[in-house]
Amino acid sequence: MDSQIDWHAARAALEWQLEMGVTEAISETPINRFEQVAPPPKAGVAPSAAAPVMPVPAAPQIDPVAESETAARAVQDLAGLQAAMANYPHCELRKGARNLVFCDGVPGARVMIVGEAPGRDEDRIGKPFVGRAGQLLDRMLDAIDLGRDRDISEAVYITNVLPWRPPQNRDPKPDEIAMMLPFLKRHIALAKPEFLVVMGNISCQALLGKRGITRLRGKWAEAVGLPVLPMFHPAYLLRNPAAKREAWADLLDLRTRLTMKAST
């Protein structure tokens, strides 16, 4: 097949390119469009033949974990911590969330519950555990005479590893957990509970450095200088009602620990 283009076709192709805004042809040699070019010399000043092109310094790298550690150390109370978390700019989850979900319950309660991350209802209302899983949690706590709105001796205090809802309720990523962990540890220190209950794999990963809630649940551990009880997340219990038996055993164990410590 003859691949030669005739003169009239070539002219038509050239005119079409001109109409489309083409202003120059392809160069025979490659051009580096990203190469820095020295600015033109000022009028009356002879250019230096050996003037080097100075590289642009790279922007300093930001360590989100170090930033959160610094911000967390600086706060002295829960209100300050909430403000510091609201102003923390490095977690991208905040851009897609409606509300920062900080806490619920009574500060200073003997039991502090740490969940994973807000869901749709929590993001909408701005409090942790207010959806179906939260309603189940309230019934579980009530069965052992605890609650988020009780007097201080029978109250609980509730927060999450992450204060912002991940898109489509996906699991938090390791870097998201790492950058928010200093805030969580400071939160625990300011709330001053006697016992921690960590619900679900994400909470166990954050505070215990372990996953596998079916293996960890019911076995007391220690984190941030406090006794820690891993438990199934209420959302898991809604999907697996048979696991409520183990959850009930864990609740009874918690009640026993509270009673024994109160009597000493």
Supply the pLDDT for residue 29.
67
> First vs last Cα of the chain: how many Å apart?
99
Where does residue 73 rank: exposed (0-12), middle (13-18), buried (19+ CB within 10 A)?
exposed
Question: Is 248 strand, coil or helix?
Answer: helix
Q: Which H or E run contains 8?
A: helix 7-19
Which single residue is written with the structure tokens 């990963």? 205
Per-residue pLDDT tens digits of the chain, which is 264 residues long: 455 667 777 777 777 777 766 666 666 666 666 666 666 666 665 555 555 666 666 667 889 999 999 999 999 999 999 999 999 999 999 999 999 999 999 999 999 999 999 999 999 999 999 999 999 999 999 999 999 999 999 999 999 999 999 999 999 999 999 999 999 999 999 999 999 999 999 999 999 999 999 999 999 999 999 999 999 999 999 999 999 999 999 999 999 999 998 887
How many Å apart are CA 199 and CA 213, to the nearest integer?
Answer: 8
How many Å apart are CA 114 and CA 188, to the nearest integer?
Answer: 9
Order of strands, edge to edge, in the sheet holding 226-231?
Answer: 104-105, 156-160, 111-115, 195-199, 226-231, 221-223
CATH of 64-263, one of 3.90.226.10, 3.30.230.70, 3.40.50.800, 3.40.470.10: 3.40.470.10
pTM of the model: 0.77
What tokens does 176 get?
């998201």
What tokens does 161 get?
């590893």
How many Å apart are CA 126 and CA 113, to the nearest integer?
Answer: 17
Which single residue is written with the structure tokens 């202003």? 23
Tell me the domain boundaries of the chain.
64-263
Supply the pLDDT for residue 1.
47
221, 187, 168, 11: which is closest to 85 by C-alpha? 187
How many Å apart are CA 164 and CA 100, to the nearest integer?
Answer: 6
